[in-house]
């Protein structure tokens, strides 16, 4: 008998552009998982609207993200790619789970505190209950693993807490997911502020490299990258934040260890190192950018991918939702 593959679920917000951090910290790792796991990747448009979005831009960004994910190696024949709002079960389960999540748990979520501080004119209920929708995303597919950055681990822990609470009342309904955090490349930092994670919401300072940036823009960003007053290329994340971040980027791009990088650049300074890192990123992104540009022009193909993905995701999600509805006592709709 063939062993059932474990399930992986992750989502990406269609707000802003995909970054070097998005790719090295998440998407690059996703592409390698399809052989071993049953993979579901959602473009989470429902999460995106906790901040105000321009409607036409949101629709365009979803298609661009889909094209870029495919160009990054996520074959739709091997991975289930879909838009979150195309599967109504996400919103339906989120409401049920809201009723099994404590106010205190949500008020302690670090991301809510951070985003509230940045958006004090729009602290809406969706921002507060965002982690419950995220829990529904995960639990609907009975995910075993959730690829996340280290800063998102708290959300997986809350998902587990909600699942344990629900299972404790109604029996074995939800599988308890585990965070999947790669050892290298999980947290790429801003090139201008290397104590801050590279984020597509912080593009203006010049420290963020985008997946679709031109080679000239990429090289400019790396040549301007913040380092330190020393000249040695040495991995020391506690004291050499900028250089260590560049080394991590170069390591993930080339497969070289930190020791090999230190040896290669022994006796050389940052003026030699930074352009080499930039060139590695340019060459890494060149085929991805070219393929994504080609796919964005093929709307019929992208629509078919989304249709097929939504059908498979809906089938799996509905099985879980139906079980939840029966357990809590909802009356089945007469056929």
For residue 113, indicate whether it is catalytic.
no
For residue 115, indicate whether it is catalytic.
yes
| Catalytic member of 200, 223, 323, 327 | 200
H or E element that contains 45: helix 45-48
| Catalytic member of 6, 77, 113, 115 | 115
Q: Cβ(78)–Cβ(139) under 8 Å?
A: no
- Helices 110-118 and 125-140 cross at an angle (nearest 10°) of 140
Dihedral pair phi/psi, residue 43, rounded to 5° = -90, 105
Closest C-alpha among 239, 47, 36, 220 to residue 124: 47
Spatial distance between the Cα atoms of 328 and 170, rounded to a whole number of angstroms: 8
For residue 197, indicate whether it is catalytic.
yes
CB contact set of 25 (below 8 Å; sequence gap of 6+):
149, 182, 185, 186, 187, 188
Helix (H), strand (E) counts: the chain:
14, 5
Spatial distance between the Cα atoms of 90 and 42, rounded to a whole number of angstroms: 11
Closest C-alpha among 295, 226, 256, 314 to residue 40: 314
| Catalytic member of 5, 6, 197, 327 | 197
Catalytic site positions: 115, 197, 200
């Amino acid at each position: 008998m063939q062993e059932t593959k474990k399930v992986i679920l992750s989502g990406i917000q269609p707000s802003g552009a995909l970054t070097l951090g998005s790719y090295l910290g998440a998407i690059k790792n996703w592409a390698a998982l399809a052989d071993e796991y049953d993979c579901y990747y959602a473009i989470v448009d429902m999460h995106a609207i906790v901040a105000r979005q321009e409607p036409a831009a949101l629709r365009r960004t979803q298609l661009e993200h889909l094209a870029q994910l495919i160009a990054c190696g996520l074959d739709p024949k091997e991975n289930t790619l879909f838009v979150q709002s195309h599967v109504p079960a996400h919103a339906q389960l989120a409401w049920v789970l809201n009723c099994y999540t404590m106010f205190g748990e949500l008020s302690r979520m670090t991301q809510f505190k951070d985003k509230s501080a940045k958006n004090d004119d729009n602290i809406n209920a969706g921002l507060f209950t965002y982690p419950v929708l995220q829990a529904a995303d995960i639990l609907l597919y009975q995910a075993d693993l959730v690829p996340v950055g280290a800063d998102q681990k708290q959300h997986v822990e809350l998902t587990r807490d909600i699942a344990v609470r629900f299972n404790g009342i109604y029996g074995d309904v939800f599988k308890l997911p585990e965070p999947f955090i790669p050892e290298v490349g999980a947290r790429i930092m801003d090139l201008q502020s290397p104590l801050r994670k590279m984020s597509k919401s912080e593009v203006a300072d010049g420290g963020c490299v985008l997946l679709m940036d031109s080679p000239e823009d990429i090289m400019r960003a790396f040549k301007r990258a913040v380092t330190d007053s020393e000249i040695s290329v040495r991995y020391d994340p506690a004291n050499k934040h900028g250089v260590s971040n560049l080394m991590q980027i170069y390591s993930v791009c080339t497969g070289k260890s930190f020791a090999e990088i230190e040896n290669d650049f022994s006796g050389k300074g940052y003026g030699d190192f930074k352009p080499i890192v930039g060139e590695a990123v340019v060459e890494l992104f060149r085929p991805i950018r070219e393929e994504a540009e080609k796919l964005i022009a093929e709307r019929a193909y992208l629509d078919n991918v989304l249709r097929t993905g939504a059908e498979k995701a809906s089938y799996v999600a509905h099985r879980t939702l139906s079980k939840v509805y029966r357990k809590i006592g909802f009356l089945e709709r007469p056929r």
